[in-house]
Structure 1
Amino acid sequence: MDIAIKPPLTFLTGGGEMAASILAFDWSNSPVGPIDKWPSSLRTAINMVLNSRFPMFLCWGPEFISFHNDAYTPLLGQKHALGRSFRDIWAEAWETVGPIAERAFAGEGSYFEDLPIVMERHGSLEQTCFSFSYSPVRAESGEVAGILCTVFETTGKVEAIAKLQEKEEALVSLNARLEQQAAAHAADRDRLWKISQDVMAAASLATGRFLTVNPAFTETFGWSSEEATSVPFMDLVYPADKDDVAQKMQVLASGVPLVRYETRVLHKDGSHRWASWSIVPEGELLYGVARDITAEKQQAETLRQTEDALRQAQKMEAVGQLTGGLAHDFNNMLAGVVGHLELMKLKLQLGQLGDFEQRIDAAVAVTDRAASLTHRLLAFSRRQALDPKPVDANSLIASMASLIQGTVGPGIKVRTELQPSLWITLCDANQLESALLNLAINARDAMPGGGTLTIETGNTIIGEAHKRLYPELKPGEYVTVTVTDDGTGMTPDVVARAFDPFYTTKPLGQGTGLGLSMVYGFVKQSGGHITIRSEPGRGAIVHFKLPRHLAEARPTGAANADPNSMPPKGKGTVMIVDDEEQVRSVLIEVLQLQGYTVLEAADAPGALRILDQCSRLDLLVTDIGLPNGMNGRQLAELVRTHWSTVPVLLITGYAETLVTKNSILPPGMHLLTKPFTMNAFAEKVASLTGHG
């Protein structure tokens, strides 16, 4: 339980229930005096005790006035210790612990392990064991003013060890007796064979049959000794396991034993049992011991099904959160677009056309926000269309320095620590820019009073030894980018959900909750790894790794086309392939206005029929997601078997085939992500046809 602490009692901060008890206690008549008069040495010692996760208590002054933390409370049983003398609290144990405490108060520290102590804490005396250390605590004058004790109850451990020793001694004694009996009486070996609860068997590799089985074999699998030894033992193996058992027989034939080998054995009633075998080969003979683990397997399967159900429930909760946030944001955006369109329609009827351009600009701005939202969703789902190229992260960050500084404002200092000779990485430079801007914005919001934002780069190698830390990363070389702020930080539960879509701690209307999820999706889709480390009041560190690109290619930064000016008109033949008629008609009209001859088709087969009669083609523009059995990427590759040098412009809002490959497009192929401005489209066409 956390309580609000005001100066000068801040030494109680973080102390839980015991801090509240100390605050509520009447210390005026106590030997330690009023709480606001306590010396700094006492306050420091109490703060250390309260904030420790180990059981601790503090005795202060010659009266041994006691303080303790929440972790120590269970050791007291029914006793109350706060403010009482340590002598009175443990009077029944003072004969044992008193001299130790007196020595500590005299300045001599001590440590005891598993010390037996007779104590009363639940209404009666009981034998206990504790491991503890007593340390003197000195006042400002240098004199010992108190005793600090860190203590663990080890009663259970000591009792368990004693019982284990008794069992081990009993087992040693039993083994000795069995050896004596086995040496003197062969019949005793038969008795052990018969009374064992584990399955025991001997078999011949030469004949492939059991030579003998013990009664536990019959109790476990239902087959009598005569039935088990009259057929090849492979006949008793569960059919689906026979190939694996045959391979294990070859291992045994080479002289290598099997330990805890799990397989299924047919039961006489038609069912099967799981058995864990340990088998030792001796020449042509096999000696095996097995334990029935069917119940354990069933429990494990039940647990797996329960975990699957839990994961499914968590997925559905995440989907609900995602769709709810998506519907909320899109409804707001659609309301803006519809409102402007309806108002324009009304004003058109009234002949009031004066503000049409402003309203069109406003509607376009809303659609741009919707496009940004879908891009972030695709980034989180790792289904966005990436255009990976070799990227020099140092150059990209350096080129963004002024943009980032302008984004975070003058109250925040932006530092860069860029490693010289940084490796080249393969990623979408525009998405890396967007990720860094999102992280800068988050850092800015976490530092409302100003602070420092640090961006670092580095090279790192992930080897097999790192598999436990990064199980999803392939061993290899990676470029690292780290963004650090010294802002308000995050609690552990916020860190755990930071990458969830639409999760945000910002006030309503001040954040969509998609910034970090977009960064997460981009890094994961690029074959990398991302982590967040943060504590309240200690800022946040976002660290991600991107694979090193080893092929020789010219690194690039993000290339942002200027959509504000129409390119010069050009001529040539362009094929437009898109199954969305509205999109296709707009693209055709834009190109015709520029002076191009435009061919059109709604799918790949239609495009191929038209191109079969075409003598000239200067550019193929195709959507990737086409119907009727052939996508745009396949169409482009087929067209280039006839026109090997024709440039191709792939347009898409969802390109899983490209995303999963995450590779550089072949020379002459380019990518443009929907939605895009018509100016950007016309400019791209002009550059690819040589008219830009």
Structure 2
Amino acid sequence: MNGTSTGSEAAALIARLDWAQSPLGEANDWPQSLRTAVDIVVNSPMPMLLLWGRELIQLYNDGFARLAGNKHPGALGQPAHATWPELESFTAPVYDAVLGGQVRTFTEQPFVLQRNNRDTEIWLDLTYSPIRDEGGQVAGILVTAIETNERRSKTQELQQRSEDSLKAQHNSEQRLQLALAATDAVGTWDWNIGEDRFIADAHFAALHGVDPSDAGRLPISDYLNGVHPEDRGMVARSIKHCITHGSEYAEEYRLQHADGQVRWVFARGRCYNDQHGRPTRFLGAALDLTERKNTEQALRHLNENLEERVAQRTQALAEANLRLQNEMFERERAEDALRHAQKMEAVGQLTGGIAHDFNNMLTGIIGSLDLMQRYIAAGRSEEIGRFTDAAVSSAHRAAALTHRLLAFSRRQSLDRRPLDPNQLVVSLEDLFRRTKGAHIELKVQLGRDIWPVNTDASQLENALLNLVINARDAMPDGGQLLIETANSYLDGTDITTLEPVKAGDYVMLGVRDNGSGMAPKILAKAFDPFFTTKPIGQGTGLGLSMIYGFAQQSGGHVTIQSEPGQGTCVRLYLPRLHGTALQSHAPSHLGEAPMAMAGEAVVVVEDDPAVRMLVVNVLDELGYTAHQAADARTALPLLESDLRVDLLVTDVGLPGMNGRQLAEIARQYRPGLKVLFMTGYAQKAAERQGFLEDGMDMVAKPFSIDLLATKIRSMISV
């Protein structure tokens, strides 16, 4: 109920009701169409009643609560026929017609209602309009009720003044009754912003001069063409402001039909974003105000006192609107504060988990180096091998975690290569068996003739290992873990994913357990960044969200199914690779890198002394002449001199002038100079393609000495 007004008594009652016990279910699970309809009702200045679902459950605003008399507040959340059995003979055929998509209006309909424990006769102008759900089906009825007792009393008073006065007013009174007979009606819309597809019901389409048969296939511009030229710019600016700032849309404007007829409408709506914060849908409803405005103008002509009453009512509505705007402002402030608190909670969860992992890795590195120093000081340098292995292993784990974080934020491009999914699973089977624990049975079920895929092998290995660890943690008392592969064809109808599915061939890699499973509320947040059910410090909440990001970068999809007590199944779908033979990529070693040829020289520019020392030492061992500089300012004299320079090796993120700018200036003095960039913040693939020119390459930190040596040799040799 995040859209209701906090200043409304009815809204407060709706918020406090235990909807989980009603046919509508938990309020947080209501469809967006119901949320929008409730928001319109509780914020309307006119009495409104919303009947929703097959049981016609009642939700209404303060204005209708006053009409309901002794029925309020017991009627709230109850079926309509159960609350008003005495009116069923009148309402039953009306409800049937409206649920069939029709609109029903009644002028000065008499009713006898209980007010202050006694029968009271009231007269109402009523409109019953269908409300549609996201699928375009009628899911509810919106009832607008205007009490006309005072109007009837005034009319009778005027009729009694004199026969002559009655005859003089006869024609105007007839026109008034005709206007009231076609009282306010509601039209709804659902605009898909990305596809620019504006779905509207027949009434809204007809109001805006659109053929109802085309109402679900046209862009928004076709509907804006129906807006009066003097109001069109205002409406377009208001819609843009709503989408840009996430504010509520509420505008009153004119429509001009082809025959010159002008009608008035009041439209209220809101823009909704996807999980990435991008605006996707714009929903709302429009109220036809034409007859009401015409009626008000005819109340003014009948009597000067009525004109004064209209002015007072207008002032009251303006004050109510001002209060509503103030309440909306306060609500937005509260929502901003809540979002900030949620963001800080997420940051706390993330930093706690990452700090836990990095502290373990730093302990392995620092402790090993400390022991190495002690052993060397004691003359036991021949025994330090196991400590160097431990330090290197911990450092590689830290580098892997950094790359996983960059991949999660899609700032790390994938190292795509063709691979056989079955071969990868087989190579990891021993690791899976050690990871799962002895209390869990592992079963591997590989499909036959599995297609190759083109993806990052290390990222895929990490994704599968994450899923195995999650499955293990879900089965503390033991169970069965199944890892499977299969060829699949997806057309978008056979699976449910967060993103649209591109039809085609995919390879499915699945991990299934029969552990504790997840409740629906937990399952709904499974792919959310930083969400975890583990205690702070024992999980970053990035596992499944990283897998989701990896699948999207690979052009694939990921699905998750889970039931409490039954287990969980996560399936990763990667696009099939066509027409490429699989190749083996063996790692290079320092010993395989050819030595420098006589006189070959390299300029190294790196602001970190330790990294600069490492690169210079590698060059010295391979026989290159190495010139070093800590920044671009120091490097330029070397590059502008007569020194022989076969290759420039530079960090991208230098202080002052960056490495890319340095390379640009260096090539002005040395056209065609080869440049190898080093970076600790890998860019997206698209950015890298625009960043590098011919004769340029890039290596991401942290890198191995083998990789650096081979890269340097291969660039100079070209």
Q: Normalized against structure 1, the TM-score is what?
A: 0.54
Displacement of 1:321? 1.0
Match of 1:100 in 2: none
| Residues 175 and 498 of structure 1, relative CA distance in 2, 3 Å threshold | closer
| Residues 158 and 567 of structure 1, relative CA distance in 2, 3 Å threshold | farther
The answer to whether structure 1 residue 288 and structure 2 residue 267 are counterparts is no
Structure 2 stretches lacking a partner, 5+ long: 1-20, 24-54, 57-73, 95-103, 110-123, 127-151, 156-165, 185-220, 239-248, 267-288, 290-316, 435-440
Identify the match of residue 173 of structure 2 among 188, 201, 204. 188
- Of stretches 667-676 and 289-298 in structure 1, the one that deviates more from structure 2 is 289-298
The answer to whether structure 1 residue 454 and structure 2 residue 475 are counterparts is no
| Residues 262 and 193 of structure 1, relative CA distance in 2, 3 Å threshold | farther
| Residues 432 and 484 of structure 1, relative CA distance in 2, 3 Å threshold | closer
Identify the match of residue 518 of structure 2 among 491, 494, 519. 491
| Residues 663 and 347 of structure 1, relative CA distance in 2, 3 Å threshold | same
3-state SS of 1:383 partner: coil
| CA distance in 2: counterparts of 1:380 and 1:357, whole angstroms | 35
Identify the match of residue 420 of structure 2 among 388, 396, 399. 396
| CA distance in 1: counterparts of 2:361 and 2:450, whole angstroms | 45
The answer to whether structure 1 residue 686 and structure 2 residue 710 are counterparts is no
| Residues 338 and 532 of structure 1, relative CA distance in 2, 3 Å threshold | same
3-state SS of 1:598 partner: strand
Match of 2:595 in 1: 569
Displacement of 1:298? 5.8
Match of 1:277 in 2: 253
| Residues 325 and 277 of structure 1, relative CA distance in 2, 3 Å threshold | same
Instruction: Give the superposed CA RMSD.
Output: 5.5
Structure 1 stretches lacking a partner, 5+ long: 1-52, 56-112, 115-127, 129-151, 200-245, 265-272
Displacement of 1:674? 1.8
| CA distance in 2: counterparts of 1:403 and 1:285, whole angstroms | 75
The answer to whether structure 1 residue 383 and structure 2 residue 411 are counterparts is yes
Contact 1:455 1:484 in 2 (8 A): no
Share of identical aligned residues, percent?
A: 35
| CA distance in 2: counterparts of 1:477 and 1:642, whole angstroms | 51
Structure 1 segment 214-613 matched on structure 2, within 5 A: 251=226, 275-281=251-257, 283=259, 286-288=262-264, 294=321, 302-384=330-412, 386-389=413-416, 391-392=417-418, 395-409=419-433, 411-417=441-447, 425=454, 427-443=455-471, 448-460=478-490, 479=506, 481-488=508-515, 490-492=517-519, 493-496=521-524, 498-499=526-527, 514-525=542-553, 529-544=557-572, 559=585, 561-562=587-588, 567-571=593-597, 572-604=600-632, 607=635, 609-613=637-641
Contact 1:478 1:545 in 2 (8 A): no
Displacement of 1:588? 0.9
Displacement of 1:169? 7.8
| CA distance in 2: counterparts of 1:637 and 1:459, whole angstroms | 48
Displacement of 1:301? 5.4
| Residues 519 and 194 of structure 1, relative CA distance in 2, 3 Å threshold | closer
| Residues 318 and 509 of structure 1, relative CA distance in 2, 3 Å threshold | closer
Contact 1:278 1:288 in 2 (8 A): yes
For 1:73-99, what per-residue CA distance to the aligned partner results, in whole angstroms no more than 9, with x for missing partners?
xxxxxxxxxxxxxxxxxxxxxxxxxxx
Displacement of 1:482? 3.7
Displacement of 1:502? 7.1
Displacement of 1:641? 8.0
| Residues 455 and 250 of structure 1, relative CA distance in 2, 3 Å threshold | closer
Identify the match of residue 676 of structure 1 among 682, 698, 703. 703
| Residues 333 and 505 of structure 1, relative CA distance in 2, 3 Å threshold | same
Contact 2:226 2:255 in 1 (8 A): no
Paired letter, 2:559: T
For 1:617-663, what per-residue CA distance to the aligned partner results, in whole angstroms no more than 9, with x for missing partners?
5444333333324454x656776788787655443231245476789
| CA distance in 1: counterparts of 2:326 and 2:353, whole angstroms | 41
Contact 1:624 1:655 in 2 (8 A): no
Contact 2:408 2:545 in 1 (8 A): yes
Displacement of 1:485? 1.6
Paired letter, 2:252: S
Displacement of 1:589? 1.0
| CA distance in 1: counterparts of 2:345 and 2:89, whole angstroms | 50
- Of stretches 619-628 and 509-518 in structure 1, the one that deviates more from structure 2 is 509-518
For 1:547-604, what per-residue CA distance to the aligned partner results, in whole angstroms no more than 9, with x for missing partners?
7899x9x677784625585634333333333222221121111111111222334445
| Residues 286 and 652 of structure 1, relative CA distance in 2, 3 Å threshold | same
Contact 1:404 1:440 in 2 (8 A): no
Contact 2:447 2:486 in 1 (8 A): yes
Contact 2:593 2:709 in 1 (8 A): yes
For 1:532-556, what per-residue CA distance to the aligned partner results, in whole angstroms no more than 9, with x for missing partners?
2222444433234567899x9x677
| Residues 512 and 285 of structure 1, relative CA distance in 2, 3 Å threshold | closer
3-state SS of 2:623 partner: coil
Contact 1:592 1:598 in 2 (8 A): yes
For 1:491-522, what per-residue CA distance to the aligned partner results, in whole angstroms no more than 9, with x for missing partners?
13554454567766679999776543432343
| CA distance in 1: counterparts of 2:235 and 2:250, whole angstroms | 10
Structure 1 segment 32-47 matched on structure 2, within 5 A: none
| Residues 455 and 562 of structure 1, relative CA distance in 2, 3 Å threshold | farther
Contact 1:523 1:544 in 2 (8 A): yes
Q: Count matched residues.
A: 478
| Residues 412 and 620 of structure 1, relative CA distance in 2, 3 Å threshold | farther
Paired letter, 2:253: W
| CA distance in 1: counterparts of 2:644 and 2:503, whole angstroms | 47
| Residues 304 and 419 of structure 1, relative CA distance in 2, 3 Å threshold | farther
Paired letter, 1:685: I
Paired letter, 1:188: E
Contact 1:624 1:631 in 2 (8 A): yes
For 1:362-412, what per-residue CA distance to the aligned partner results, in whole angstroms no more than 9, with x for missing partners?
22332223222222222333333x2444x44xx331331321222223952
Match of 1:106 in 2: none
3-state SS of 2:255 partner: strand
Structure 1 segment 15-34 matched on structure 2, within 5 A: none
3-state SS of 1:417 partner: coil
Q: Normalized against structure 2, the TM-score is what?
A: 0.52
| CA distance in 1: counterparts of 2:503 and 2:589, whole angstroms | 39
Identify the match of residue 678 of structure 2 among 636, 644, 651. 651
- Of stretches 506-515 and 482-491 in structure 1, the one that deviates more from structure 2 is 506-515
3-state SS of 2:253 partner: strand
Displacement of 1:285? 6.0
Contact 1:333 1:367 in 2 (8 A): yes
